Amino acid sequence: MSEGNTLQAMLDNMNSAMSQLEGGECATKHFCGLDEFWRTLNIAASSLSTEVTKVCILFSEPPAPSLQQVNDLLRKIETLYINMLKNFYNLPKEQGQVMRKKTQIALLKIVELLKAVFSSLKTKGAKGQKERMKLAGCVWESCEAIEHLPHDNLAATCAELDKELMLVEDALQEIEEEIKNQEDGMEGNAGDEIDNSERWSNQDCEMLPHCVALVKTARACMRRIKRAVNAQGRCSTEHEIAQLDDLISSVSRLSPSVDDFVSSAYPPMNKDAVKKTAMEVVNSVQAILLVVKQAHYVQDEDQSWVDFLLKAVDHNNNKLQPLLTV
């Protein structure tokens, strides 16, 4: 088989591997525990990055490698990434969907980069060497990132909570900055003609404190849950792991609903959109709090803040909704 045919066959196999990986296949016949899973994955990732660099160096200058050299290296790389994927498929879903998803995304990135490297080899040959060395560096970074992935579902859940909290805080900061900018602009343009299409009306301004209060309630919800999971979260049993998965399933809907709500509140304010998206934020916060209310990481003494936040989200929404119907 020629070098071009060999590379094309490898690219075809990678496309098939990516399709299979995107489906998240799971077969748990040979799972030997998380410690062994991560040890095997880290070794394979480290070896893979080394072999990809060897290929890139081999094509960097004359003489061109022999067909046998190319085939041997490609087979070695193919074996390594396939073994990584097989190892992933042996990770049971019962170990945690949050951790599994993060691992899946990291592996997809590695295979995508491998495709880019070998596509460059096939189409550009020696002319693509500069591009391939950059890609090889990206492969190294992605393979090293495997070592820093969360090694259990609790760690993965905490990482997701950090991310979601940051997104909600960003949305809150945006709306608060926009309010401050309008206030500063009004002071700086006293007596000047102002483009009202880019500013809130007086009626809109009456609603803004309640809009901000609703987003702050969402942020308080995330902060409290993050603190509870960090302090009291466990992943020793399938039940505890499943509760963490349920939490992230609910939490993942919060930041998009907050983003939509904040976007709809920007001038010129669309009251129908604000009304709809406010309810989406309320429903998201309530759904999260109902999930955590029965979870292992919320103790009896925590029930007071759960109940307080449930009342707070209702209170802020009840203040806002009547103003949207005027």
Q: Which domains does the chain have, with CATH numbers?
A: 3-147 (1.20.1420.10), 153-185+196-324 (1.20.1410.10)
How many Å apart are CA 287 and CA 284, to the nearest integer? 5
How many Å apart are CA 22 and CA 34, to the nearest integer? 22
What was the pLDDT predicted at 217? Answer: 98
CA-based R_g, the chain, Å: 26
User: Tokens 């997809």 appear where?
Assistant: 108
How many Å apart are CA 38 and CA 147, to the nearest integer? 8
How many Å apart are CA 320 and CA 282, to the nearest integer? 11
What was the pLDDT predicted at 199? Answer: 87
What was the pLDDT predicted at 250? Answer: 97
| Backbone phi and psi for residue 98, each to the nearest 5 degrees, phi listed first | -70, -50
Instruction: Report CA 59 to chain centroid distance, whole Å.
Output: 36
User: Tokens 């609603």 appear where?
Assistant: 207
How many Å apart are CA 126 and CA 110, to the nearest integer? 23
What was the pLDDT predicted at 196? Answer: 57
User: Tokens 């992933």 appear where?
Assistant: 88
Query: Average pLDDT of each block of 10 consecutive residues along the chain (326 residues)?
Result: 78 90 71 93 96 86 77 91 93 95 96 93 80 92 97 98 98 95 69 63 92 97 98 97 98 97 93 96 97 95 95 96 85
Residue 155 is encoded by which pair of tokens? Answer: 């760690």
Helix axes 97-124, 153-188, angle to 10 degrees: 80
As to burial, measured by CB atoms within 10 angstroms (0-12 exposed, 13-18 middle, 19+ buried), residue 153 is buried
What was the pLDDT predicted at 271? Answer: 93
* Other CB atoms within 10 Å distance of the CB of residue 224: 18
How many Å apart are CA 216 and CA 292, to the nearest integer? 19
pTM for the structure as a whole: 0.90
What was the pLDDT predicted at 189? Answer: 57
What was the pLDDT predicted at 3? Answer: 67
